[in-house]
Structure 1
Amino acid sequence: MILPAVSMIGCGGKTGPGTSTAQQQSTQTYFAPFVEGTSNGGTPVGGPQTYTISDPAGSGSAGAFKQTTYLLNANQEGAQVINAGEVTALQRGLLSLGVTANYSFSNDTGAWVTTDYSTPKTGGFAVELAGQAGGLVQLPGQPAAPVAATAQCPNFATPQTYQFVTIPNGASAGTNETAYGSVDIGTSGSTVNLTNIQQFTLSSTGGAGAQVQPAATPVTGACGTTSYGNTISIPYPVTITNPGGGQTTPPPAVLAIGPSGLLVEDNGLGSNGLTYQTSLSGGTGAIGLPRPSQPLDTGTVVGAQYLGFIFGAPTGGNFGAPTGWSSHVASFGFTSLPSNCSSVAAQTTTLIYGGDFTNDNPSASPNGFGNCDFAIDLGPEDSTNNGFYPNATVWMGAGYAANTSNKNNSFSAVGVAGQLNGKYALFVLGANTGQQWAIYLLQSN
């Protein structure tokens, strides 16, 4: 049985959205929720992870990173580094993560085996928020994951409303699972209360989806020092027992809120098949933003440049050996719009073009921008929920690497947008012919 690392040691320092990140250092540890498709040496990896990233000190220098899992099972007893390597800076703030060492468990020898790469294994990337308050990470052969810094617990003098989208999994395309929603989060010492939880499914025809019956509110958690840093365990206190007799014991959800306000949640499902009444999302977790206090200027949102990832959720093998998923580093927004963009979708005032990089190789781009084989039309902002776009449309061009149809197609989606330390973030979720697609973008200009 796989058990989560949730021991509470005490409450760390406090922070809230927009708080100065001067305390952040060049080496930062991030909490990452489980994303289906994560594996190590061909073996699925369940449960949350941490990423420790030391950025390059300057031009020509290299930083370092490591990916760590936290499991209690027959093969692992707590923290275990599974990948380590070097960090180099590319154009527009994108980081390249090259794996130089992999650590995997061998069923043949019953021990952990180290594989060293004399030439770093390429295909890993990261996009960090200013001040290293969080961001997005993707290692070679793994799906993209949102990450949040966990040096401090959140501190909200008054409850903060968050809007989120689900991190989809192989079962997410169903009509009964939460796809997006909102929640009010308040703190009192180490106690964290989640109230006014609103959950909705995706609508296949666009617009607001059906409301899902959420967990009874308030949901109470506690923030303190865990294996992942200062994270919120929900529910709290947590009791782990040996289920025996075919019973199941629900693991806790783990929630992290970075200093600039980025929210990421692991909803406790892991890869062990245990079920849990999620506090926020469906899928395997959630990524969210503080709701803006004023309506956004949508033209400014789509007029910015972004870096991020496009994640196509698995279409089979739920929590075992997922299949059909894809994850590609992406760029959206151009300083000079390529002429072929119009072949993907007709331009509107609420549309932003972007796409992947040829051969997933941003370093080969002469200007740091990728292809124009994707487009997102946010449509109008919701009249009562600032930063929420319920009528978004996504166009996938025929040239996009994961477009198996080899022709242009479109599908309805929802989006949440806001600012983190004065930069826009945009998270979009939609479904196309039974598969969910998540787009995670952070402003790069």
Structure 2
Amino acid sequence: MLRMLALFSLIAGLTVGCGTKGGAPATASVPPVTQSTLRTYFAGVVSGGYGGPGNFSDSSVLATYTIDDTAKTFAQFTYAFSHTQDGPQMNYSGGFTTLARGLLNFGITYSHGTYGLSYSGNTGPFSYDPPKGGNYAIELAGQGGGLVQLQGMPFVPLVAAASCPDFKSAEIFQFVTIPGSYGSNTAPSVAIWNPDTQTAYGKVSIGTGGSTVKFSGIQQFLSSGTQVATYADLSGDPPAITSLNGVCSPTFYGNTISAPNPLTITNPGANETISPGAIVGIGPGGFLLENNGSFAGNAANNTTGSNKNATYQPFLGAGTGAIGLPQPSSPVDVSSLTGAQYLGVVYGSGTSDAIWSSSIASFGFSTMPSACQSLPPQNGTMVYGGDFPGNNPADPAVQANGGYGNCDFAVDLGSQDSSNNGLFPQATVWVGSGFAGNTTGRTYSFPAVAIAGQMNEKFAVFLIGVDKTGSPNQAWGLYLLQSN
């Protein structure tokens, strides 16, 4: 416990704000973010278990990641009040190397329980020599956030909630839902996302006043573009939330915002506090992360009918939360956006906590490979990429090629919304026949919505789509951070 508290006491005091410059300036100007050699990130929850209904992965509970550039080490702490854990626990640690294009390659040398299995029945701790590989992290420019992909688990988004937001004037953010399992599965370890009734994307104005964080002008939309007027999946069909206040305060996760109810639960034994409602973090540069609940089992709204049992009403994304960024103050330069190179994650939410996929992705190429010819041709709004051979970006052949992956996936952003800079409401995703998650044996497409902009002078693209062609039918999320 003392070791963990020492790590948290070293969180850098970064300034919260919104990035500027380039073809997609944000709504506010902030000074450059100072890089830190030691940083701690709050990790949100993403639905998915290890191998069956009721099994939780380390993506299913709240966590923090500490990364130390000087020692080249990392540590993950989880925070749960179920299974065999009661409060905070260092779950994994190890070292890392930096691969081409800034991708961090984590090697796990310690785990509290057996690596790659559910909590149930685990005993430990365990050490590993050689380290367990296949684990990666991508950091946002300015260290305001990022993504982690541990082998065999769904990805998790990270935010450096190092300080409470302090905006001189309200800032507008756009967001997309991080989808839960698609359909009506009621397994307790998954948060269900139904695109016909639940939020896919939206926007919000965020203002601050002391410890109070004001969320106003909230607009939520279905994937079809229809604005959410009521929460049809909650008992009584309550009206959609358009404004509410949250409270920002120091927690084990950093300076996070509790909303809509600043309710705190204390575990006297571990002297830990958690919030059963939504937890929001805003990192330097404006990276926005909303986590819908303390773990996936009580996350967001849960199916329909007699199962309308959400513990609160979601006010940004549905599913297991939302990921967002500042809305640009002018239209995004699409040519610059599609011409950049990215690292990120392709996430298929599946139809239960046992059927999902999550893999490191590379998009954009310095030179377009011939493999892209199997996908629709460039039309000015296309960006090409995909997974890595064998889901292994650390492969020497990949690294010798500059760290670029396959070309078996493409996104046609389509037209930028004339009223909302950085919103692409009619995007199309093309899944190539060679993509590992494609079970059809042919190239096919599905509709999606994307948001894009800049944070600390680098582009980010976040997308949510609904795939009713592949097997299983599912939601796809694509989360890209510029790497060049």
Q: TM-score range by the shorter chain?
A: 0.7 to 0.9
- Residue 382 (str. 1) matches residue 417 (str. 2): yes
- Residue 235 (str. 1) matches residue 246 (str. 2): no
CA separation of 1:65/1:90 partners in 2, compared to 1, >3 Å: closer, same or farther?
Answer: same
Q: 1:283 aligns with which of 298, 304, 319?
A: 319
Alignment of 1:36-435 (within 5 A): 36-37=47-48, 43-45=56-58, 46-55=60-69, 57=70, 63-73=72-82, 75-104=84-113, 112-170=123-181, 171-203=192-224, 208-213=225-230, 215-238=240-263, 240=265, 251-268=276-293, 270-273=295-298, 275-316=311-352, 322-364=353-395, 365=398, 366-433=401-468, 434-435=473-474
Tell me the amino acid that sits aligned with residue 102 of structure 1.
S
The Cα shift of 1:21 comes to 5.5
Query: Are the counterparts in 2 of residues 136 and 145 from structure 1 also a CA contact under 8 Å?
Result: yes
Q: Distance in 1 between the 2:242 and 2:194 partners? A: 26
After the TM superposition, which segments of 4 or more aligned residues of structure 1 sit over 6 Å from their partners?
105-111
Q: Distance in 2 between the 1:107 and 1:38 partners? A: 8
Q: Distance in 1 between the 2:89 and 2:36 partners? A: 23
Residue 45 (structure 2) aligns with: 34
Q: Distance in 2 between the 1:367 and 1:404 partners? A: 29
The Cα shift of 1:385 comes to 0.1
CA separation of 1:108/1:100 partners in 2, compared to 1, >3 Å: closer, same or farther?
Answer: closer
Tell me the amino acid that sits aligned with residue 442 of structure 1.
L
> Helix, strand or coil: the match of 2:447?
strand
The Cα shift of 1:241 comes to 10
> Helix, strand or coil: the match of 2:366?
coil
Q: How well do the aligned residues superpose, as a CA RMSD in angstroms? A: 2.6
Q: Distance in 2 between the 1:39 and 1:362 partners? A: 22
Tell me the amino acid that sits aligned with residue 461 of structure 2.
L
Residue 483 (structure 2) aligns with: 444
Q: Distance in 1 between the 2:371 and 2:135 partners? A: 28
Query: Are the counterparts in 2 of residues 424 and 443 from structure 1 also a CA contact under 8 Å?
Result: yes
Specify which structure has the higher proportion of strand.
Answer: 1
> Helix, strand or coil: the match of 2:319?
coil
Query: Are the counterparts in 2 of residues 176 and 212 from structure 1 also a CA contact under 8 Å?
Result: no
Q: Distance in 1 between the 2:330 and 2:33 partners? A: 27
Q: Distance in 1 between the 2:426 and 2:154 partners? A: 26
Q: What whole-Å deviation, never above 9, does each CA across 1:361-390 have from its counterpart, x for those lacking one?
A: 112212211000000000110000000000
Query: Are the counterparts in 1 of residues 56 and 118 from structure 2 also a CA contact under 8 Å?
Result: no
Q: What whole-Å deviation, never above 9, does each CA across 1:89-138 have from its counterpart, x for those lacking one?
A: 00011111121111128999988511211011111111112232211111
Q: Distance in 2 between the 1:117 and 1:302 partners? A: 41
The Cα shift of 1:156 comes to 1.1
The Cα shift of 1:324 comes to 1.6
Query: Are the counterparts in 2 of residues 261 and 420 from structure 1 also a CA contact under 8 Å?
Result: yes
Residue 16 (structure 2) aligns with: 15
TM-score by length of 2: 0.80
Q: Distance in 1 between the 2:200 and 2:356 partners? A: 18
Q: Which stretches in structure 1 are left out of the alignment for 5+ residues?
A: 1-11, 243-249, 317-321
Query: Are the counterparts in 2 of residues 380 and 389 from structure 1 also a CA contact under 8 Å?
Result: yes
Q: Which stretches in structure 2 are left out of the alignment for 5+ residues?
A: 1-12, 20-29, 182-191, 231-238, 268-274, 299-309
The Cα shift of 1:43 comes to 3.9
> Helix, strand or coil: the match of 2:372?
helix
CA separation of 1:112/1:193 partners in 2, compared to 1, >3 Å: closer, same or farther?
Answer: farther
Q: Distance in 2 between the 1:338 and 1:24 partners? A: 34
Q: What whole-Å deviation, never above 9, does each CA across 1:175-221 have from its counterpart, x for those lacking one?
A: 10111111111100110011111111112xxxx24534364342111
The Cα shift of 1:240 comes to 4.8
> Helix, strand or coil: the match of 2:394?
helix
Residue 8 (structure 1) aligns with: none
CA separation of 1:421/1:68 partners in 2, compared to 1, >3 Å: closer, same or farther?
Answer: same
> Helix, strand or coil: the match of 1:86?
strand
CA separation of 1:108/1:53 partners in 2, compared to 1, >3 Å: closer, same or farther?
Answer: closer
CA separation of 1:408/1:95 partners in 2, compared to 1, >3 Å: closer, same or farther?
Answer: same
Q: What whole-Å deviation, never above 9, does each CA across 1:297-356 have from its counterpart, x for those lacking one?
A: 11110011111010000212xxxxx12200111110111101121212222110011011
> Helix, strand or coil: the match of 1:406?
coil
TM-score by length of 1: 0.87
Q: Distance in 2 between the 1:212 and 1:344 partners? A: 38
CA separation of 1:236/1:329 partners in 2, compared to 1, >3 Å: closer, same or farther?
Answer: same
Query: Are the counterparts in 1 of residues 62 and 80 from structure 2 also a CA contact under 8 Å?
Result: no
> Helix, strand or coil: the match of 1:131?
helix
Query: Are the counterparts in 1 of residues 65 and 75 from structure 2 also a CA contact under 8 Å?
Result: yes
